C-alpha cells in the first residue's frame, strides 16, 4: 500500500512539440510498465525495511517477497543485498517475476538522517517483459515526528516479445506519517502515506505517456484503496484525470476525459 501508484511517477522535461496527436495504441503495455515499476520499487523499499539497521523506524507492514531468496554481505558498513526470484516467483499481485535485483546501501544514517539505496536489475522478466535499468532511492527519517520518506528515481527499459520497446523514467516520493492520536493504539498500527511525483514513458512506436500526481495520493493503513488524490495522465496529446475522492474508503474513482466527460470507475 505504501507505494500504491508509485510506479506512475516520472520526471519529464521533453518538448511537447514532439508529442504525437494520434490516439495511443499501447495502453495495455503502459499499464504493464506502471505495474512493473510499482512492484519493483516496492520490493526494494520492503527489502530495505527488513534488511537495514533502521528497520525499527519503518512501517512494520513491510515485508520481503516470500518466493524470493535473499542473501547479503557487509563490507565496511556497506551492505549488499541480492534479491533472487529464480526462474519463477509469484508476487502478491498475482504476476510472475524472474531474475534478480542487486541493492547496496549504508548501514548508518548520515548527518541528515538519510541513507542512499542503489539498485540494479539483473535479467528481470516481469509478465514475459524483459526489464533492465537502475534506480536510486533516498530513505530519510525525521527524529522529531517519526515520519519516514522514500524518494526514488528509476530509469528502466522494457522489451516485449513482439520487439516493441519502451523507456520509463520515474521520480516519486512516498512519505509515511504516524497519524497517532489514540494513546491506547500502538503507533505502528496507525499511519497514512502520501505519494507525489511524475513520470514519462516513451514507446518505440512513438506513443508517449506523461503522468503527474496533481493532488497527493493518500493511503490509509485501514483501507486497501487510495482514499484521495488526483492523477493527470497525458496519452500523446489527450489528457485525462483520475480523482480518488475526498477521503472515504471505497473502490470508486472518477475519470474525466479530454472532452470533460466524467465516468465512475471501480478500482
How does pLDDT run across 111-164, given as a tens digit for each residue?
Answer: 888 999 999 999 999 999 999 999 999 999 887 777 889 999 999 999 999 999
CA distance 12 to 20: 16
Residue 19 lies in a domain: yes
In the three-class reduction of DSSP (H, G, I as helix; E, B as strand; rest coil), residue 180 is classed as coil
Question: Which regions of the chain does DSSP assign to beta strands (E)?
Answer: 69-75, 78-90, 96-106, 114-126, 129-141, 148-159, 165-177, 192-203, 208-220, 226-235, 238-246, 252-256, 262-266
Domain of residue 115, residue span: 6-61+106-266
Q: Is residue 148 part of a domain?
A: yes
Decide if 11 is inside a domain.
Answer: yes
Q: Is residue 36 part of a domain?
A: yes
The pLDDT-based confidence of 8 (bands split at 50, 70, 90) is very low
Percent pLDDT > 90 in the chain is: 70
Q: Return the pLDDT at 65.
A: 81
Whether 34 maps to a domain, the answer reads yes
CA angle 35, 152, 246 (to 5 degrees): 65
Q: Is residue 232, in this structure, part of any structural domain at all?
A: yes
pTM for the model stands at 0.84
Angle, vertex CA 111, rays to CA 110 and CA 117, nearest 5: 25
261 domain residue, yes or no: yes
Whether 1 is covered by a domain: the verdict is no
Specify the higher pLDDT residue, 10 or 114. 114
What's the structural domain count of the chain? 1
| 19 close to 236: Cβ distance less than 8 angstroms | yes
Helix segments in the chain, DSSP class H: 27-51
Lowest-pLDDT choice from 10-14, 120-124, 178-182, 224-228: 10-14
pLDDT-above-70 percentage for the chain: 85
Amino acid at each position: 500500500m505504501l507505494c500504491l501508484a508509485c510506479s506512475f511517477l516520472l520526471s519529464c522535461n521533453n518538448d511537447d512539440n514532439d508529442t504525437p496527436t494520434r490516439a495511443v495504441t499501447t495502453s495495455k503495455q503502459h499499464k504493464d510498465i506502471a505495474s512493473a515499476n510499482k512492484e519493483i520499487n516496492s520490493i526494494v523499499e520492503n527489502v530495505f525495511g527488513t534488511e537495514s539497521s533502521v528497520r525499527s523506524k519503518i512501517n512494520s507492514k513491510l515485508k520481503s517477497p516470500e518466493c524470493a531468496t535473499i542473501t547479503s554481505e557487509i563490507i565496511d558498513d556497506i551492505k549488499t543485498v541480492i534479491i533472487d526470484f529464480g526462474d519463477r516467483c509469484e508476487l502478491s499481485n498475482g504476476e510472475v517475476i524472474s531474475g534478480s535485483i542487486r541493492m547496496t546501501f549504508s548501514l548508518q544514517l548520515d548527518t541528515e538522517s538519510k541513507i542512499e539505496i542503489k539498485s540494479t536489475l539483473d535479467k528481470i522478466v516481469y509478465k514475459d517483459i524483459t526489464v533492465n535499468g537502475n534506480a536510486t532511492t533516498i530513505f530519510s527519517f525525521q527524529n522529531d515526528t517519526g515520519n519516514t520518506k522514500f524518494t526514488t528515481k528509476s530509469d528502466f527499459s522494457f522489451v516485449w516479445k513482439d520487439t516493441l520497446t519502451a523507456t520509463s523514467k520515474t521520480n516519486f516520493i512516498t512519505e509515511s506519517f504516524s497519524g497517532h492520536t489514540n494513546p491506547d493504539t500502538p503507533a505502528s498500527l496507525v499511519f497514512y502515506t502520501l505519494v507525489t511525483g511524475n513520470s514519462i514513458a516513451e514507446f518505440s512506436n512513438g506513443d508517449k505517456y506523461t503522468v503527474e500526481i496533481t493532488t497527493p495520493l493518500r493511503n490509509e493503513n485501514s483501507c486497501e484503496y487510495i482514499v484521495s488524490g488526483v492523477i493527470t495522465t497525458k496519452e500523446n496529446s489527450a489528457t485525462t484525470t483520475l480523482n480518488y475522492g475526498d477521503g472515504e474508503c471505497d473502490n470508486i474513482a472518477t475519470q474525466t476525459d479530454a472532452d470533460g466527460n466524467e465516468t465512475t470507475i471501480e478500482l
